[in-house]
Structure 1
Amino acid sequence: MARLLVLEDESVLARHIKSTLERARHAVDVVETIAGGIHALRSAGYDLLMLERKVTDGDGVRLLDFVRQAKSAIPVMFLTARSGTDERVGMLDRGADDYLCKPFETTELVARVTALLRRPQQLAASTLTAGNIVLDKATRSAMVADKPLVIARREGMLLEQLFARSGQVVTREALDAKLFGFEDGASPNAIEASVYRLRSALSSLGADHQIHTVRGVGYCFAP
Structure 2
Amino acid sequence: MSRILLIEDHDRLAHLMCKGLLAAGIAVDVVDRIDSAWVAIQQMPYQALVLDRGLPDGDGLVLLKKVRNAGLNVPCLVLTARDALHDRVEGLEAGADDYLPKPFAMNEMVARVRALLRRPAEFHPIDPSHGDLRLHIESGALFNGDKSITLAPAEMHIMQLLLHKHDDVVRRSALEAAAWGLSEAVTPNALDVALHRLRRKLLAIGSRQRIANVRGMGYALRQADDAQ
TM (norm. structure 2) is 0.64
**Conservation of the 8 A alpha-carbon contact between 2:131 and 2:209:** no
Which residues in structure 2 correspond to 1:51-130 (within 5 Å)?
51-122=51-122, 124=123
Distance, in Å, in 2 between the alignment partners of 1:63 and 1:191 is 36
Once the two structures are TM-superposed, the CA of residue 119 in structure 1 deviates from its matched residue by 2.1
Partner of 1:206: none
TM superposition outliers: structure 1 runs of 4+ over 6 Å? 191-194
Q: Which has the higher contact order (CA 8 A, sep 6+)?
A: 1
Gaps of 5+ in 2: 136-141, 143-158, 182-192, 222-228
Once the two structures are TM-superposed, the CA of residue 172 in structure 1 deviates from its matched residue by 3.2
Partner of 2:37: 37
**Conservation of the 8 A alpha-carbon contact between 2:169 and 2:220:** no
Distance, in Å, in 2 between the alignment partners of 1:173 and 1:160 is 15
Distance 1:169 1:16, change over 3 A: same
Partner of 1:146: none
Distance 1:23 1:104, change over 3 A: same
Partner of 1:162: 165
Distance, in Å, in 1 between the alignment partners of 2:75 and 2:213 is 28
Once the two structures are TM-superposed, the CA of residue 90 in structure 1 deviates from its matched residue by 2.1
1:64-91 residue CA offsets vs partner (Å, 9 max, x unmatched): 1232233222111101111122221222
Partner of 2:133: 152
State the secondary structure of the residue aligned to 2:72.
coil
Code of the residue aligned with 1:6 in structure 2: it is L
Partner of 2:49: 49
**Conservation of the 8 A alpha-carbon contact between 1:172 and 1:219:** no
Partner of 1:21: 21
Indicate whether 1:188 and 2:199 are aligned: no
Once the two structures are TM-superposed, the CA of residue 159 in structure 1 deviates from its matched residue by 6.5
Code of the residue aligned with 2:176 in structure 1: it is E
Code of the residue aligned with 2:175 in structure 1: it is R
Distance, in Å, in 1 between the alignment partners of 2:72 and 2:116 is 15
Once the two structures are TM-superposed, the CA of residue 2 in structure 1 deviates from its matched residue by 1.1
CA RMSD of aligned residues (A): 3.6
Partner of 1:181: none
Distance, in Å, in 1 between the alignment partners of 2:93 and 2:26 is 28
State the secondary structure of the residue aligned to 2:45.
coil
Distance 1:214 1:41, change over 3 A: farther
Distance, in Å, in 1 between the alignment partners of 2:100 and 2:54 is 14
**Conservation of the 8 A alpha-carbon contact between 2:76 and 2:97:** yes
Partner of 2:216: 215
Once the two structures are TM-superposed, the CA of residue 191 in structure 1 deviates from its matched residue by 6.5
Moved more, 61-70 or 91-100: 61-70
Distance, in Å, in 2 between the alignment partners of 1:162 and 1:174 is 15
Give the count of matched residue pairs. 182
State the secondary structure of the residue aligned to 1:5.
strand
1:2-34 residue CA offsets vs partner (Å, 9 max, x unmatched): 111111111121111111111112111111111
Distance 1:167 1:158, change over 3 A: closer
Distance, in Å, in 2 between the alignment partners of 1:187 and 1:77 is 34
